[in-house]
Amino acid sequence: MKKYLLLFIIAIFVMSCSKKVEVKGKITGGSPLERIEFIEASGVATLPLANIGVKNDGTFSGSFEAPKNGMYLISYAGKQNLVYLKGGQTLNISGSGMSFPNDYVITGDAKKNNDFFTASQKYLTNYAQTVNMNELMTKDEKGFLAGIQKVEKDIDNNIEENVKKFSPDSEVVQWKKNDLASTLLSIISQYEMRQGQMSGNPSFKVGKAFTDYENKLQENKEVMIKENPYYRQYLLAKMSPEFQKYAEANSKNKTDITTSELFTQYLKTKKDISQTAKDYLLAFVMAQSDIHPGSPVKTTDKIKKIIDEDIKDPTIKSDLTKIQIAVNGVKIGEVAPDASLIKQDGKSYKLSENKGKPYMLLFYASWNPYIGEAAVPVLKEVVNFYKSKMNFVFVNVDDTKDQFIKTSNTLLKGIPGVNVYGDGGLNSDIAKKYGVYGFKLPCFVIIDKDGKIASRSFVNLGEPELVTILDKLTGLSAPKVNPNVQLQPGLGADPSAQQMNPQPANPQPAPTK
């Protein structure tokens, strides 16, 4: 009997420590060309943790490792919403293809927390229509504080009512209260800035009651900095005037200094800010200002050095490294990562088999519309022009090997090259090593004859930079193409800006009228 009891206790312990979230459900009228993605709303990487396909009947299933319990952004067909998830639970979620995930229904063990969250959001939406923020912002300091404290009390009362109604876990309740505090801090920060501008006094200071209330809202600041991007934005807004002065004084005659370098130096002067806060704020600034597609190698190297030397939190350090690879690709000059790949006949394939000859990697999937609409016709021209001097490896990242065989036999029929499959699709070893995500497909990377990375990641075969690299490695000279012709319409110079740094839908809109 004791043995069975012990096994039961072990099973419960393992379940409680699991970070995996199982996802399943149905989107009525859903399209197999659309994918469901989950992103940690409080993280710094804002990269998809899961990319789940929808079947012809609208059903879907998948799983992913949730870094921590908290809010996650769920994305489908260009729409986004928030959902509260805990590791070890199953998310049963459904909705209509017309409105999902703006509207969804959850059943099972994730229901009570999300019912609480949804009810709180609904109240906020209605409550926002009753508060005249323009009038509140014009009040004197005493009147403003009275008004904003009433807003806090009204929303907090609703939170308590929903706690009694839905019995959510204490941590989701605390998240909501911290989220409320972050939103209120943003509002009072706007008021303080407005009053300072209206006074015309550069030394303008708010009163003690104002400061005391502001400090009260930040009693859980170490938790808030970890879980709420809006609190990070509030802190950055507060230090912005001082940082601007610091940057102006320390960037004279330094034409190539980056914002991230300046902010790193500035944070070293702030002894009153915790290392945790410094890590999150610096990560936020780097992701917003200096990690972009096409960044010069020099800038990329500078950011890498800051990540290695100045970011102390290992998770943030890892997430920022993933962002760099996802945005710019593996560092040029490094040995191209090898990975386990499978041919159509089931035999294994290694990228190192190409050593001695340059080659191009193409990552693609059947559900990405641009591969068929635009990439294949251009790809045929590129392959036919360069095939005598280099190899081409077409890496499929569909969900199954059967889909890979079907797609490669139809989509790439007649195009010289090696067709291989990354087992696991976007969760495959090769996708992770090359920073390949759904928003980057199709994606092109060039490797030189010595097996080293020769280019950043490209999403457009017509980019002059890519053509220049191909010409240099092969000794050929390609006909000039119109650089404005994009493989993926509308992406322009920054194909991943919206997906790399999505801002979570504001879980608590500021009351306006």
By the 8 A CB rule, do 191 and 206 touch?
Answer: no
Quote the pLDDT of residue 19: 86
Say whether pLDDT at 497 is over 80. no
Q: Is the peptide bond before 442 cis (omega within 30 degrees of 0)?
A: yes
User: b/e map of 326-363 (b: 16 or more CB within 10 Å)?
Assistant: bbbbbebeeebeebebbeeeeeebebeebeeebbbbbb
Query: Whole-number mean pLDDT of the chain?
Result: 88
How do residues 88-97 score in pLDDT, each as one tens digit?
Answer: 999 999 999 9
Above 90 in pLDDT, residue 324? yes
- pLDDT value of position 503: 34
Could you tell me which residue, 294 or 341, shows the higher pLDDT? 341
Using pLDDT thresholds of 50, 70 and 90, give the confidence band for residue 253.
Answer: confident
- The answer on pLDDT for 111 being more than 60 is yes
Average pLDDT for 136-147:
95
Q: What integer is the mean pLDDT of 177-204? A: 89
Residue 374 pLDDT: 66
Contacts of 31 (CB under 8 A, 6+ apart): 54, 77, 97
Please tell me what DSSP assigns to residue 266: H
pLDDT in tens, 45-85: 789 999 999 999 999 999 999 999 999 999 999 999 999 99
In this structure, of 70-74, 222-226, 458-462, the range with the lowest mean pLDDT score is 458-462
What pLDDT is stored for residue 512 in this prediction? 35
pLDDT of 513 above 90:
no
> Across residues 432-455, what is the average pLDDT?
95
Q: Say what the pLDDT of residue 344 is.
A: 94
Tell me the mean pLDDT in the region 126-152: 94
- Average pLDDT of the residues in 100-115: 95
Question: Is residue 287 classed as helix, strand or coil in its secondary structure?
Answer: helix
| pLDDT > 50? residue 221 | yes
Q: How confident is the model at residue 340 (pLDDT cuts 50, 70, 90)?
A: confident
pLDDT band at 373 (very low <50, low <70, confident <90, very high): low
Q: Provide the 10 A C-beta neighbour count for residue 233.
A: 17
Provide mean pLDDT across the span 416-445: 95
Q: CA geometry: angle at 509 spanning 507 and 511, to 5°?
A: 150
3-class secondary-structure state, position 7 = helix
> What confidence score (pLDDT) does residue 480 get?
66
The yes-or-no verdict on residue 167 having pLDDT over 60 is yes
| pLDDT over 70 percentage in the chain | 89
Q: 3-state DSSP helix/strand/coil percent for the chain, to nearest 5?
A: 50, 15, 35
Indicate the range of 7-16, 99-108, 137-146, 335-344 predicted with least confidence: 7-16
Q: What sign has the CA pseudo-torsion 200, 203, 207, 211? A: positive
> What is residue 121's predicted lDDT score, i.e. its pLDDT?
93
pLDDT, average across residues 291-314 = 92
pLDDT value at residue 99: 95
Nearest C-alpha neighbor of 293 from the set 443, 79, 397, 438: 443
pLDDT grade for 292, boundaries at 50, 70 and 90: confident
pLDDT of the residue at 263: 97
505 pLDDT higher than 90: no
Does 438 have pLDDT greater than 90?
Answer: yes
